[in-house]
Amino acid sequence: MIQLTINGQPQYFNNPLNLQQLLEHMLLQNKRIAVELNGEIIPRSQFTEQTLSNGDQLEIVVAVGGG
Amino acid sequence: MDDFIVAGKHYSSRLLVGTGKYKDFNETSAAIEASGAQIITIAIRRTNIGQSPNEPNLLDVLPPSRYTLLPNTAGCYSADEAIRTLRLARELLDGHSLVKLEVLGDPRTLFPNVVETIKAAEILVKENFQVMVYTSDDPIIAKQLEEIGCVAIMPLASLIGSGMGILNPWNLQIIIDNTKIPVLVDAGVGTASDATIAMELGCDGVLMNTAIAAAQNPILMASAMRKAVESGREAYLAGRMARKPYSASPSSPIEGTLPAQSQ
Q: ipTM value of the model?
A: 0.93
Is the Cβ of B59 closer than 8 Å to some Cβ of chain A? Answer: yes
A chain contacts of residue B110, beta-carbon cutoff 8 Å: none
CB contact under 8 A, B42 and A64: yes
Alpha-carbon distance of B227 to B229, in angstroms, equals 5
Average pLDDT over residues A24-37: 91
pLDDT at A29: 84
Choose the closest CB to B74 out of A28, A62, A66. Answer: A66
Helix/strand/coil (H/E/C) assignment for every residue in B111-170: CECHHHHHHHHHHHHHCCCEEEEEECCCHHHHHHHHHHCCCEEEECCCCCCCCCCCCCHH
The set of catalytic residues of B is: 100
pLDDT higher than 90, residue A37: yes
From first to last of its 263 residues, what are the pLDDT tens digits of chain B? Answer: 799 999 999 999 999 999 999 999 999 999 999 999 999 999 999 998 876 667 788 888 898 899 999 999 999 999 999 999 999 999 999 999 999 999 999 999 999 999 999 999 999 999 999 999 999 999 999 999 999 999 999 999 999 999 999 999 999 999 999 999 999 999 999 999 999 999 999 999 999 999 999 999 999 999 999 999 999 999 999 999 999 888 888 899 989 989 888 87
State how far the alpha carbon of B31 is from the alpha carbons of A47, B23, B192, B254, B259, in Å: 36, 11, 15, 49, 57
Is the Cβ of A38 closer than 8 Å to some Cβ of chain B? Answer: no
State how far the alpha carbon of B33 is from the alpha carbons of A53, B146, B158, B225, B258, in Å: 46, 31, 26, 12, 55
pLDDT at B247: 82
Question: What is the Cβ-side half-sphere exposure of residue B182, based on CA atoms within 13 angstroms?
Answer: 28
pLDDT at A5: 96
pLDDT at A56: 96
A chain contacts of residue B93, beta-carbon cutoff 8 Å: 63
Q: How many residues does chain B have?
A: 263
A chain contacts of residue B80, beta-carbon cutoff 8 Å: none
A chain contacts of residue B45, beta-carbon cutoff 8 Å: 61-62, 64
The per-residue b/e assignment along B198-236, b for 16 or more CB within 10 angstroms, e otherwise, is: bbbbbbbbbbbbbbbbebeebbebbbbbbebbbbbbeeb
- Which of B 207-236 lie inside 8 A of A, CB atoms? 207-210, 213
Alpha-carbon distance of B249 to A54, in angstroms, equals 82
How many CB atoms are located within 10 Å of the residue B184 CB?
Answer: 24
Is the Cβ of B22 closer than 8 Å to some Cβ of chain A? Answer: yes
CB contact under 8 A, A36 and B208: no
Interface test with B, best of A5, A12, A27, A32 (most B CBs within 10 A): A32
Choose the closest CB to B59 out of A6, A9, A32. Answer: A32
CB contact under 8 A, B49 and A9: yes
The residues facing A4 across adjacent strands are: A11
pLDDT at B262: 80
- For the segment A49-66, what is each residue's pLDDT rounded down to a tens digit? 999 999 999 999 999 999
CB contact under 8 A, B47 and A43: no
User: Nearest-CA distance from A16 to chain B in Å?
Assistant: 20
pLDDT at B250: 85
Average pLDDT over residues A9-25: 93
Question: What's the burial of B256, exposed, middle or buried (CB within 10 Å: 0-12/13-18/19+)?
Answer: exposed
